[in-house]
A = this chain, B = another copy of it.
Amino acid sequence: MSDSGTTDILIDISTAILRAQDGVLQFRALQDANDGDKRLPFGPFMPDRHRTMEIGLRQWVREQVGVDLAHVEQLYTFADQGRHHGAAKDERHIVSVGYLALAQDNMAAEDAAGAAWDDLYRYFPWEDWRDGRPEILDAMILPELDKRLSGEPLAAARVRLAFGGHDDTPWDEEFVLERYELLYEAGLVEEAARDGRSKDTARGLGDSMQLDHRRILATALGRLRGKLKYRPVIFDLMPDRFTLRALQKTTELVIGTSLHKQNFRRLVEKSGFVEATGETSRARGRPAELFRFRHGNRAERPLAGLRVSAGRKSRAPK
């Protein structure tokens, strides 16, 4: 079977490191030169030195940004040509493996040169619905997609699937990658022009990144949004003790929509994931009880995550 390809392959491992801080969803971004596009921490997978890819990932993360990783999970392996513009000129073909990692709120390590925490939604402004449907969708994105993809046969269906239609196909917050890919194909993000897919000179939507790193970030956000619903990963974004309000704010940050406070509390309390510490946090208003994640007697629990919902749908007519 190993008839072997004629070309050699280089595998890049890139990691989207996310955290929630002061009401902002952030990721660890690196800036090489001054002023160029930012990038994720990444480096080649070297099987001699890295027994597994996760070991490789941790090496690059350690060397490039000083962050302690909580949850780490592989996202996707991208191998399509032409999406790695700007890579060092190496005669090898590049395959890109993306990872998602979560960092606790209060981690130190702000120092590493050129590394900073960037606001994720600056790169995906159409994904933040916390203050309602972003205007840019109807003002620009949907009309432009419609115009630019009118040639494609199935484009209309793909757009409706990804961005939501009217009542029948609602916005699905998990389709982050599908939306980004459509914008890329339509030439609405700068990466498309850079890769030679679009001759557009207008500034694209959101901030752009090196290589295919914004695509990896999109995959990370979509995966995290999905995972929240069935595994308690949200707690990896929380400090040791937290109020239920803070937990809600972090959840809203990730899924990009607002939730009903009383019902969120009921949901969380009933889930058994948290236990009260007895302490309270004071700020303005009535003090809130501090909770902690309950990896109580059972080390890890496979319980359902926090299922959040979009609101009752009015009964479909017949």
Task: Please list the residues of chain A having a beta carbon within 8 angstroms of any beta carbon in chain B.
Answer: 1-12, 42-53, 74, 76-77, 79-81, 87-88, 90, 92-93, 95, 97, 154, 157, 160-161, 165, 168-169, 172, 175, 272, 298-303, 316
Chain A interface mostly helix, strand, loop or mixed? loop
Given known contacts A51-B80, A52-B79, A301-B169, is B11 in contact with A9 (CB within 8 Å)? Answer: yes
Most buried by B among A49, A77, A272: A77
How distant is the Cα of A130 from the Cα of B97 in the complex, in angstroms?
Answer: 37
Shortest Cβ gap from A245 to chain B (Å): 25
B5 pairs with A48, CB closer than 8 A: yes
B79 pairs with A53, CB closer than 8 A: yes
Most buried by B among A9, A81, A93, A168: A9
Shortest Cβ gap from A264 to chain B (Å): 20
Contact pick for A42, options B1, B50, B168, CB 8 Å: B1
Of all chain B residues, the one with the shortest Cβ separation from A81 is: B51
Which residues on B sit within 8 Å (CB–CB) of A1? 12, 42-44, 88
B53 pairs with A77, CB closer than 8 A: yes
B300 pairs with A161, CB closer than 8 A: yes
A77 pairs with B74, CB closer than 8 A: yes
Of all chain B residues, the one with the shortest Cβ separation from A88 is: B2
Which residues on B sit within 8 Å (CB–CB) of A42? 1
A11 pairs with B95, CB closer than 8 A: yes
B302 pairs with A47, CB closer than 8 A: no
Of all chain B residues, the one with the shortest Cβ separation from A95 is: B11
B2 pairs with A10, CB closer than 8 A: yes
How distant is the Cα of A240 from the Cα of B46 in the complex, in angstroms?
Answer: 47
Of all chain B residues, the one with the shortest Cβ separation from A32 is: B1
How distant is the Cα of A92 from the Cα of B8 in the complex, in angstroms?
Answer: 10
Can you list the 10 inter-chain pairs with the closest CB atoms, starting with the nearest?
A5-B46, A47-B93, A157-B299, A2-B88, A77-B77, A53-B79, A52-B80, A2-B90, A172-B302, A8-B8
Which residues on B sit within 8 Å (CB–CB) of A300? 157, 161
Q: Can you give 16 contacting A-B residue pairs, CB < 8 Å?
A: A1-B88, A4-B92, A5-B46, A7-B46, A7-B48, A9-B10, A9-B45, A9-B47, A45-B79, A45-B95, A52-B80, A77-B77, A77-B97, A161-B301, A168-B301, A272-B316
How distant is the Cα of A298 from the Cα of B3 in the complex, in angstroms?
Answer: 44
